[in-house]
């Protein structure tokens, strides 16, 4: 691992009992951070070493903590501490000893660790982020990420007042391959040709076998079947035997092609957790069953949005009944596909990485250059950007290049590119007329929703490229564009006049 530059350390565990979900979503975030030139290290309990090859294949260093089971005061520990019997104080000491140096961020994704552990690590990390799903314990963290589709008020009283909260599937830590598969996908047809089964990395209780049985009836025998399991699955031989009599069935162990397999399927069967959100990114209609109590609230929230059908249990009978309900209705599957696609776009890791790096490195700006044209066109034509623009038509490359050339040559225009640790995150364009400069801002779609806009406006306000005579700053906003209105108000602007189709915001430059 490089000795200089920025470092982010992760604390997460994997085991046959808890699966590898915590480690995998940390690796997804690490991959997004590596795009900023950040070195990453994952610190894990000895059981996590089983996944060392996978961790290191992602360019993340792995350190196995020196932890020994000891007498655990269960009454003082979080409810999920049973398998981690060494206690938080021992864990914190081992983590501190294993850190190669003080990281820019320490990110903890662990149900058995809470504010006590985080406070013990404060001397070793200037910033701590907690990844959580449970909202059942306090955190002494600067940033809290919960990627589940649940109520925002769950963490009241559990966080420091100044802690940043990134809540909801918009911030889901999903591998880039899923967003890529989403871009290349078309809506599924009415035929149920392929079924995808993935019941999580742990597969405790043999739910994969139950899912195979659930689709073994004559009505679904002609559908191709892709069954995915992790290498640590102790029932691999039994699963292979269950599939041996089905010519159109394939068993995939630790597949790197999960996104493609889900995108190619017409129906999915799975559990909760991150995989439920992965299915949403590619719009896969699904039958799901919670394999642990903490999975049920998230699955029920997805079901309430029409994005999945939750079976009462992971038994073959319950899964089979739910599968039958979806298999016999292509209209229901189509509605579920559309609902799932609306849950998340798969760019959550980019957003979280941008939020982390903006805290560590800040937001800067530079003058736009001719080779920025393609990037600005991509941002402008993203549906989420066009929906809030005064002109919602897609812009052609020809017209964009003509406009961009004029803007770069216009002495009354200043086009700035926002940067987080050297990576573009958005743009601000000033149109200067006398002592007034009017701002137009676009935040890159993959970094929206993490507070970069106000930082970008502030950097643009202070940049010396803005002519000195411009002492009054303006911005026009559509009345219904609440995100932009909040953005400018956060940046010190106030509404000063209103027309039928736009509101004028203003602030002094100084």
DSSP conformation class of 15: B
Strand partners, 429: 415, 440
Q: Are 19 and 228 in contact (CB under 8 A)?
A: no
Q: Is 22 a catalytic residue?
A: yes
474 close to 441: Cβ distance less than 8 angstroms:
no
Whether 416 contacts 367, CB under 8 Å = yes
- Whether the per-residue pLDDT at 4 is higher than 80: the answer is no
Q: So what's the pLDDT on residue 84?
A: 64
C-alpha 108/C-alpha 118 separation (Å) is 8
**pLDDT for the residue 72:** 47
Average of per-residue pLDDT across 289-313: 95
**pLDDT at residue 79 above 70?**
no
* Per-residue pLDDT reduced to its tens digit, 95-128: 999 999 999 999 999 999 999 999 999 999 999 9
pLDDT confidence of residue 126? 96
Tell me the CA distances in angstroms from 280 to 284, 322, 467, one per residue in order.
Answer: 6, 18, 47
397-452 pLDDT, tens digit per residue, is 999 999 999 999 999 999 999 999 999 999 999 999 999 999 999 999 999 999 99
pLDDT, average across residues 71-79:
54
Q: Write the secondary structure of 52-88 as one string of H (helix), E (strand) and C (coil).
A: HHHHHHCCCEEEECCCCCCCCCHHHCCCCCCCCCCCH
Whether the per-residue pLDDT at 178 is higher than 50: the answer is: yes
Q: Using one digit for the tens of pLDDT, what is the confidence trace for 359-381? A: 999 999 999 999 999 999 999 99
How confident is the model at residue 2, as a pLDDT?
47
- Give me the pLDDT at residue 129, please: 99
| Tokens at 281, concatenated | 């990114």
* Per-residue pLDDT at 47: 94
**Nearest partner of 344 among 137, 83, 168, judged by Cα:** 168
Residue by residue, DSSP assigns 176-214 as HHHHHHHHT-----S---EEEEE--SS-TT-HHHHHHHH
Which of 161-170, 229-238, 412-421, 424-433 has the least mean pLDDT?
A: 229-238
Task: Provide the pLDDT for residue 70.
Answer: 61
Residue whose tokens read 């979080």: 78
Structure tokens at 349: 């890791």
How is 456-491 classified by DSSP, letter by letter? HHHHHHH-TTS-TT--EEEEEE-TT-HHHHHHHHHT
> Distance between CA 15 and CA 44 in Å, rounded?
10
* 278 annotated as belonging to a binding site for a ligand: yes
- Choose between 384 and 113: higher pLDDT: 113
| pLDDT given at position 77 | 62
Domain annotation for the chain: domains and CATH numbers: 7-171 (3.40.50.11190), 176-341 (3.40.50.2000), 362-508 (3.40.630.30)
Bridge partners of residue 288, in order along the sequence:
270, 310
Is 486 annotated in a binding site? The answer is no
Mean of the per-residue pLDDT values for the chain? 94
- Is 71 a residue whose pLDDT tops 60? no
* Mean pLDDT (whole number) for 339-358: 97
Kindly report the backbone phi and psi dihedral angles of residue 67, in degrees, each rounded to the nearest multiple of 5, phi listed first.
-125, 140
pLDDT at 80: 57
User: What is the C-alpha to C-alpha distance for residues 413 and 143, in angstroms, rounded to an integer?
Assistant: 37
In SS3 terms, 308-341 reads as CEECCCCCHHHHHHHHHHHHCCHHHHHHHHHHHH
Q: Taking residues 352-362, what's their average pLDDT? A: 97
Structure tokens at 103: 């990281």
Distance CA 95, CA 108 (A): 11
Euclidean distance between CA atoms 286 and 464, whole angstroms: 54
């Amino acid at each position: 691992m490089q000795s200089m530059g920025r470092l982010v350390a992760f604390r997460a565990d994997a085991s046959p009992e808890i699966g590898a979900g915590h480690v995998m979503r940390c690796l997804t975030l690490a991959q997004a951070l590596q795009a900023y030139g950040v070195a990453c290290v994952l610190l894990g309990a000895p059981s996590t070493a089983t996944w060392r090859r996978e961790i290191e294949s992602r360019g993340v260093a792995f350190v196995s903590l020196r932890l020994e089971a000891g007498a655990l005061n269960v009454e003082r520990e979080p409810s999920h501490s049973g398998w981690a019997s060494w206690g938080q104080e021992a864990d914190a000491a081992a983590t501190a000893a294993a850190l190669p140096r003080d990281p820019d961020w320490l990110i903890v994704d662990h149900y058995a660790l809470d504010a006590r552990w985080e406070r013990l690590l404060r001397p070793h990390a200037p910033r701590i982020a907690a990844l959580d799903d449970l909202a059942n314990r306090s955190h002494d963290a600067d940033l809290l990420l919960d990627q589940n589709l649940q109520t925002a008020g769950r963490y009241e009283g559990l966080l420091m007042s100044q802690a940043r909260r990134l809540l909801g599937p918009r911030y889901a830590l999903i591998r880039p391959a899923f967003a890529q598969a989403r871009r290349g996908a078309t809506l599924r047809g009415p035929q149920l040709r392929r079924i995808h089964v993935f019941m999580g990395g742990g597969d405790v209780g043999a739910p994969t076998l139950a899912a195979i049985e659930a689709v073994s009836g004559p009505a679904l025998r002609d559908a191709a079947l892709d069954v995915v399991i992790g290498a640590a699955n102790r029932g691999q031989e039994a699963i292979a035997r269950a599939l041996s009599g089905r010519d159109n069935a394939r068993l995939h162990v630790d597949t790197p092609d999960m996104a493609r397999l889900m995108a190619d399927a017409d129906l999915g069967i799975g559990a909760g957790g991150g995989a439920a959100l992965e299915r949403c990114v590619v719009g896969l209609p699904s039958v799901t069953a919670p394999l642990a109590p903490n999975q049920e609230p998230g699955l029920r929230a997805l079901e309430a949005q029409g994005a999945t059908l939750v079976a009462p249990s992971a038994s073959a009978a319950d899964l089979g009944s739910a599968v039958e309900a979806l298999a016999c209705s292509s209209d229901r599957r189509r509605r579920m596909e559309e609902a799932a696609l609306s849950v998340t776009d798969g760019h959550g890791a980019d957003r979280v990485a941008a939020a982390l790096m903006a805290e560590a490195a800040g937001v800067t700006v530079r003058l736009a250059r001719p080779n920025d044209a393609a990037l600005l066109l991509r941002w402008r034509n993203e549906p989420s950007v066009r929906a809030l623009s005064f002109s919602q038509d897609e812009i052609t490359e020809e017209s964009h290049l003509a406009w961009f050339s004029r803007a770069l040559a216009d002495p009354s225009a200043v086009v700035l590119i926002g940067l987080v640790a050297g990576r573009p995150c958005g743009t601000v364009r000033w149109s200067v007329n006398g002592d007034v400069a009017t701002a137009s801002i676009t935040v890159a779609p993959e970094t929206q929703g993490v507070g970069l806009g106000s930082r970008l406006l502030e950097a643009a306000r202070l940049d010396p490229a803005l002519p000195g005579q411009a002492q009054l700053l303006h911005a026009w906003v559509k009345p219904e564009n609440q995100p932009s209105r909040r953005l400018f108000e956060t940046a010190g602007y106030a509404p000063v006049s209103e027309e039928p189709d736009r509101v004028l915001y203003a602030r002094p430059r100084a």
